[in-house]
Structure 1
Amino acid sequence: MKNLLKSVVLASGILLASNAVNAQQKIGHINTAEIVQSTNEFKAAEAQMKTLSETKQKEIQDMIGKYQEQQNTANEKIRNRSEANKAAVDAELQTIGNTMREMETRIQGVQQAAQEEIGKKQQELYAPIEQKVMTAINTVAKEKGYAYVLDISSGSVPYFQGGDDLTADIKAKLGVSAAPAAKK
């Protein structure tokens, strides 16, 4: 009986201690999008991206303008075509048509290259900013003793320290294999 009483008291003590530890886990939240957008680096990157985008857009618009000039030339030749000059005009229209097809191909190529260049530049400019912000989040969370920091802008958890991983328990409850999912 005495051993049973000691066991119950010991079990209660362990339970209370674990609840006290769990109760002390601090949870915070942040808005990463707001943080990133408030940095000077982000503002500078946005200005660079705007300039690059405008430059590429102007280049494409210039090409489209030249294409439209060819189209207007072709339309004018069609309007002025007569039986007397039909063969000569048709030959000119054929040449203009070939030129326009080549221009379409070049425009599409330039558009695709511009999108790729903008995507690469965006990654180049924004990745260091995101890394800097993540480092700051981790540093502040550790300094202030937070176990979890939730990102309200994306619904993610950019920082966690400790806590119980219930993944295997939930998979068991669902009757799903407890093995980790294969990475793609």
Structure 2
Amino acid sequence: MKNLLKGAVIVMGLFAATSVANAQQKIGHINADEIFQQTAEFKTATATLKTLGETKQKEIEGMVSELQKKEKEANDLMLNQSEANKAETQTKLQTIGQEYQQMQARVQEVQKVAQEEVAKKQQELMAPIQTKVMNAINVVAKEKGYAYIFDTGSGAAVYYGGGDDVSADVKTKLGIK
């Protein structure tokens, strides 16, 4: 009986010690996307991507303009078609139709390639910024003794009942005012 009582006291002591240790873990939260978007590098990358997108869009618009000219040319031929030039007009319309289809396929290909280029450039520019922000979060967590930091912006934290918002510390670490 004494051994049973001693065992129960030891188990309760260990449970109490574990509860105290767990209660002392610091938990914080942050909105990493918000901080990510406030970095100078993000603003520069966004401007670069916007310029690239506009350049690609102008290129595609030029090609669409050429398509519209072909379409107008075909419409004009059809309007000016007569019995005397019917055979010649039909031959020209077939040629224009083939050129139009080729141009249309080229426009679609250029659009696809442009989207891929912009996506690749976005990944190339944004990945280092994400790494930099994550490294800053890790450094702040270690410096401040946090056991967990939940990202409230990504939905990774289903619930957080307070905790410390370490956004200001991470912004300071990144040089964001």
Question: Is the pair's TM-score, using the shorter chain for normalization, greater than 0.5?
Answer: yes
- Residue 85 of structure 1 corresponds to 85
**Where does 1:21-170 land on structure 2 (aligned, <5 Å)?**
21-156=21-156
SS in 2 for 1:82: coil
User: Is there any run of 5+ residues in structure 1 with no aligned partner, and where?
Assistant: 158-184
* Residue deviations 1:130-162 (CA, integer Å, cap 9, x gap): 0001111111111111111111111226xxxxx
Q: How many Å apart are 1:6 and its aligned residue?
A: 2.6
Distance 2:57 2:66 in 1: 14
What amino acid sits opposite 1:104 in the alignment?
Q
Distance 1:20 1:123 in 2: 44
* Residue deviations 1:54-81 (CA, integer Å, cap 9, x gap): 0000000000000000000100110110
Distance 1:145 1:155 in 2: 23
Distance 1:33 1:4 in 2: 55
- Residue 18 of structure 2 corresponds to 18
Distance 1:118 1:108 in 2: 15
What amino acid sits opposite 1:72 in the alignment?
K
After superposition, the CA RMSD in angstroms is: 1.1
Distance 2:135 2:156 in 1: 16
| Corresponding pairs, count | 157
Greater RCO, 1 or 2 (C-alpha within 8 Å, sep 6+): 2
* Residue deviations 1:10-60 (CA, integer Å, cap 9, x gap): 222111100001111111111011000000000000000000000000000
What amino acid sits opposite 1:70 in the alignment?
K
Distance 2:51 2:21 in 1: 53
Distance 1:4 1:96 in 2: 98
What amino acid sits opposite 1:137 in the alignment?
I
User: Is there any run of 5+ residues in structure 2 with no aligned partner, and where?
Assistant: 158-177
Distance 1:5 1:156 in 2: 44
* Residue deviations 1:101-127 (CA, integer Å, cap 9, x gap): 110111011001001101100000000
Distance 1:81 1:90 in 2: 9
Distance 2:138 2:156 in 1: 14
- TM-score with structure 2 setting the length: 0.85
Counting aligned pairs with the same residue, the percent is 57
What amino acid sits opposite 1:139 in the alignment?
V
